[in-house]
Structure 1
Amino acid sequence: MSIGWIVINIIDIILFAIVSLTVAYLTVFSIAALFNRRTGVPAAKHQNRFIILIPAYKQDKSIEQTVKTALGQTYPQRLFDITVISDHQKEITNFHLAQYPITLLTPNFASSTKAKSLQLAINNLPQFKIYDIAIVLDAGSVVEPEFLQQMNDAFETAGTKAIQAHRLSKNRDTAIANLDAIFEEINNSVFRRGHITLGISAAISGSGIAYDFKWFKENIMKTNTGWEDKELEALLMRQHIYVDYFDHIHVYDEKTRQSADFNKQRGRWASTQLRSLFSNARYLPAAILKKRYDLIDKIIQWMLIPRTIMVAVMVLMSIVLPFIYLTLAVKWWIMFAVTMLVLAIATPDYLVDDKWDKSFFKAPFIMLVSLLNITKMIRRKKNFENRN
């Protein structure tokens, strides 16, 4: 047997093992999501006081709509305040925002991160005001008039310090936007609905999440990277705090429309996942010994190959291997079929329409191109860092 053939077999076995573990994980939680039977949430006996934080970095086109929907709540206005952190936005945008009954902060960070914006907001809250819950929304997010009332009811029902709302897409006007919307709902099925069905913490997504205010005020100061949501998620898990998820509390976000933005987004997420793993892997042995299943699951989750890369690898191996040795490709074809079935199970019915047909079957090829672009982006970043 030649060395080249041995190398091909080793690569094939390693890649297939990695992909198989990820597919198995997705399968378990996709099926679990089908059995989620949470019924209506009873009305809370107590009305909490909310602070809504909206970091906005160069979001001039969408921030005003977010503010309007946040202000248009059925919840008593005396029980919530809104702070917008308008970073590197146009003067005319800040002028318009200043007309609303909100607190407007206009930093001009040399190196902008969401963590810095949220820390600035917390440090500038009036000392005489007492809040119970902090909610973080992205600039561009749209919420329904009942959003705060639903969050208030959910917090009393959950009895925990963190709740993730159901993020949905507010646009499906391109194939990329529709694919992004499908992926968002698959995330909700696998990493949120499926998890809470099995009694494991839901994943947070950085927007549409509510925290116990005291916990958030203390812990947001511990974040110092561009991926503060994963830092907060790790802190929640390490502190043994359960993250609940409520499917009926909707937050609508605008999805990327162009493939270039889609590729950048996936590349950034893959990098964030890797950094999260490196930062928290050392906690795995202690988590296993202490049976902290939420933290174990989270670290395993960060170990999994990102789905964009996973599907791209499957497509690549399915196309290339038949030209090398047909028998090696068969298992990849089977794995690809299983993966498509699992992703279809995790996709809610309302997305299964004529747009779904076009996007779903284009997805493997979009992901393959995405993988190639992500590789180029990483190479360019390394070259830039070497030059500097």
Structure 2
Amino acid sequence: MDELIIIDTLDTILFFLMAISVGYLFVFAVASMSRMNYSYPLAKKKYRFAILFPAYKEDKVIEQTMQSFLQQEYLKESYDVVVISDKMKDSTNQRLRQLPIDLLIVDFENSSKAKALNFGMDQLADREYDMIVILDADNTVQPNFLQQISNAYESGANVIQAHRMAKNLNTSTAILDAVSEEINNSIFRKGHVKLGLSSALIGSGMVFEYGWFKENIKKVSSAGEDKELEMLLLKQRVYIDYMDNIPVYDEKTQKENAFNNQRRRWLSAQFASLWEALPDLPDAIFTRNIDYCDKIFQWMMLPRVLMIGVIGLLSIATTFINWEWSIKWWILLLILFGALCMAIPDYLVNKPFKKAIIKVPLLAFMMFLNLFRTKGVNKKFIHTEHGEH
């Protein structure tokens, strides 16, 4: 009898903790279902942009990316493209020198995007810009990208996260990577902005007011630079807007090992950010910094794939222990699935996606193992292998 009471108490505590996370995801997933209204008028002036492309071993894609970006329908004199070349071949660098861009060559002993961005900003110290754009070496954008950003900036958007979406859907892993990113876009970006909260950053497709970035990038040092930037912005109560209508096409990881390494780095960065931010929580609550409180809570949550695994296993386990206990778990699992289904855009729900779902248990197990393999990962630059699309 005493054992049942203990198990019942543990069951109640676990359910309460899981229900908070699921409820959080559900609320923002519902919010993301409504359309976003963009009505920014055409900017009256041509704002100046610096576009930084940190490129670590990106010989396969960087030239194609440059050729694509240079098709911008924006005054050429009003933007500078800067490539920070790290560990790329001399032949690649030589070809890049033929393009109308600024090529900066670095050779860090321990490479990271934070180091590349800081080096790039040091070289731009004597130039003046209005905004700075951070893109990855495989990112492509539409020809009106800078004009759309300019319109939003003139209307008051000082920090913007563009809508990063998949460039390729050629493997099951790439499809699941794309689905995961769109779920994040719906819940942590679109849903948040719809309810008046700041969007999450994602590492590329990020736009900052130049003066703010110049001052604050010096404080960023890890491979989780987007989370460090988020922390700085939200502590300073700077709002992060999300532009669902401005796509940035990003190459998705195509192999399970690459997917696993990427998630391990993200998980490490999340733990490091949470550890650093937790001492700020009491002050954030006392000063009603809702955005910062919300961000800390996000970092406390289990990754979604682990959440599915934990709730699924507890649903099955409680069915055998006491079927009455299991009812609430099965309902919670259905609500979680409902939230995730609402967050997935229609264009990704097709036959290849349904086939890819069978890989979810394997990826969940790999994510579970990653919980014990995060030490030091957020200090390194993890290169994404590029393949044929």
Q: CA deviation at 1:316?
A: 3.2
Sort the Cα spacing of 1:73 and 1:109 in 2 relative to 1 into closer, same or farther, 3 A: same
Q: Equivalent residue of 1:40, what SS?
A: coil
Q: Equivalent residue of 1:41, what SS?
A: coil
Query: Does the CA contact (< 8 Å) of 2:179 and 2:348 recur in 1?
Result: yes
- 1:283: which partner in 2? 280
Sort the Cα spacing of 1:9 and 1:59 in 2 relative to 1 into closer, same or farther, 3 A: farther
- 2:164: which partner in 1? 167
2:367 partner letter: L
Identity rate, percent: 44
- Over aligned residues, Cα RMSD in angstroms? 2.1
Q: CA deviation at 1:248?
A: 0.9
- 2:124: which partner in 1? 125
Q: Equivalent residue of 1:246, what SS?
A: strand
Say which is worse superposed, 300-309 or 210-219, in terms of deviation.
Answer: 300-309
For residues 375 and 210 of structure 2, the distance between their equivalents in structure 1, rounded to whole angstroms, comes to 41
Matches within 5 A, 1:267-278: 267-278=264-275
Matches within 5 A, 1:150-229: 150-157=148-155, 159-229=156-226
For residues 6 and 306 of structure 2, the distance between their equivalents in structure 1, rounded to whole angstroms, comes to 21
Query: Does the CA contact (< 8 Å) of 2:84 and 2:103 recur in 1?
Result: yes
1:291 partner letter: R
Query: Does the CA contact (< 8 Å) of 2:46 and 2:75 recur in 1?
Result: no
For residues 230 and 379 of structure 1, the distance between their equivalents in structure 2, rounded to whole angstroms, comes to 17
Query: Does the CA contact (< 8 Å) of 1:192 and 1:201 recur in 2?
Result: yes
Q: CA deviation at 1:333?
A: 2.4
Query: Does the CA contact (< 8 Å) of 2:203 and 2:226 recur in 1?
Result: yes
Q: Equivalent residue of 1:82, what SS?
A: strand
1:196 partner letter: V
Are 1:139 and 2:137 an aligned pair?
A: yes
Q: CA deviation at 1:230?
A: 0.8
Say which is worse superposed, 97-106 or 45-54, in terms of deviation.
Answer: 97-106
1:183-202 Cα distance to aligned partner (Å, 9 max, x none)? 11111111111111111111
Higher relative contact order (CA 8 A, sep 6+): 2
1:50-85 Cα distance to aligned partner (Å, 9 max, x none)? 000000112221222222222110001110001111
Query: Does the CA contact (< 8 Å) of 1:185 and 1:347 recur in 2?
Result: yes
1:181-233 Cα distance to aligned partner (Å, 9 max, x none)? 11111111111111111111111111001100011000000112121111111
Q: CA deviation at 1:280?
A: 1.1
Sort the Cα spacing of 1:116 and 1:336 in 2 relative to 1 into closer, same or farther, 3 A: same
Q: Equivalent residue of 1:377, what SS?
A: coil
Query: Does the CA contact (< 8 Å) of 2:306 and 2:368 recur in 1?
Result: no
Q: CA deviation at 1:269?
A: 1.5
For residues 125 and 378 of structure 1, the distance between their equivalents in structure 2, rounded to whole angstroms, comes to 34
1:72-114 Cα distance to aligned partner (Å, 9 max, x none)? 1000111000111111222222222222111111211111111
Q: CA deviation at 1:11?
A: 5.1
- 1:353: which partner in 2? 350
**How does the TM-score come out when normalised to structure 1?**
0.91
Matches within 5 A, 1:24-39: 24-39=23-38
Query: Does the CA contact (< 8 Å) of 1:56 and 1:63 recur in 2?
Result: yes
Say which is worse superposed, 58-67 or 131-140, in terms of deviation.
Answer: 58-67
- 1:71: which partner in 2? 70
For residues 197 and 332 of structure 2, the distance between their equivalents in structure 1, rounded to whole angstroms, comes to 27
For residues 107 and 229 of structure 2, the distance between their equivalents in structure 1, rounded to whole angstroms, comes to 24
1:26-64 Cα distance to aligned partner (Å, 9 max, x none)? 111111112243133221112110000000112221222
Query: Does the CA contact (< 8 Å) of 1:21 and 1:304 recur in 2?
Result: no
- Could you list the runs of 5+ residues in structure 1 that have no partner in the other structure? 382-388
Sort the Cα spacing of 1:270 and 1:12 in 2 relative to 1 into closer, same or farther, 3 A: farther
**How does the TM-score come out when normalised to structure 2?**
0.90
- 1:385: which partner in 2? none
For residues 376 and 134 of structure 2, the distance between their equivalents in structure 1, rounded to whole angstroms, comes to 33
Query: Does the CA contact (< 8 Å) of 1:287 and 1:295 recur in 2?
Result: yes
Q: CA deviation at 1:380?
A: 11
Are 1:301 and 2:307 an aligned pair?
A: no
1:207 partner letter: S
1:144 partner letter: Q
- Could you list the runs of 5+ residues in structure 2 that have no partner in the other structure? 378-389
Q: Equivalent residue of 2:108, what SS?
A: coil
For residues 221 and 299 of structure 2, the distance between their equivalents in structure 1, rounded to whole angstroms, comes to 19
For residues 237 and 126 of structure 1, the distance between their equivalents in structure 2, rounded to whole angstroms, comes to 25
2:366 partner letter: S
Are 1:236 and 2:218 an aligned pair?
A: no
- 1:49: which partner in 2? 48
For residues 133 and 352 of structure 1, the distance between their equivalents in structure 2, rounded to whole angstroms, comes to 36
- 1:148: which partner in 2? 146
1:108 partner letter: D
1:314 partner letter: I
- 1:111: which partner in 2? 110
Q: CA deviation at 1:8?
A: 5.1
Sort the Cα spacing of 1:286 and 1:18 in 2 relative to 1 into closer, same or farther, 3 A: same
- 2:382: which partner in 1? none
Query: Does the CA contact (< 8 Å) of 1:313 and 1:368 recur in 2?
Result: no
For residues 136 and 148 of structure 1, the distance between their equivalents in structure 2, rounded to whole angstroms, comes to 12
1:115 partner letter: A
- 1:22: which partner in 2? 21
Q: CA deviation at 1:379?
A: 8.8
1:294 partner letter: D
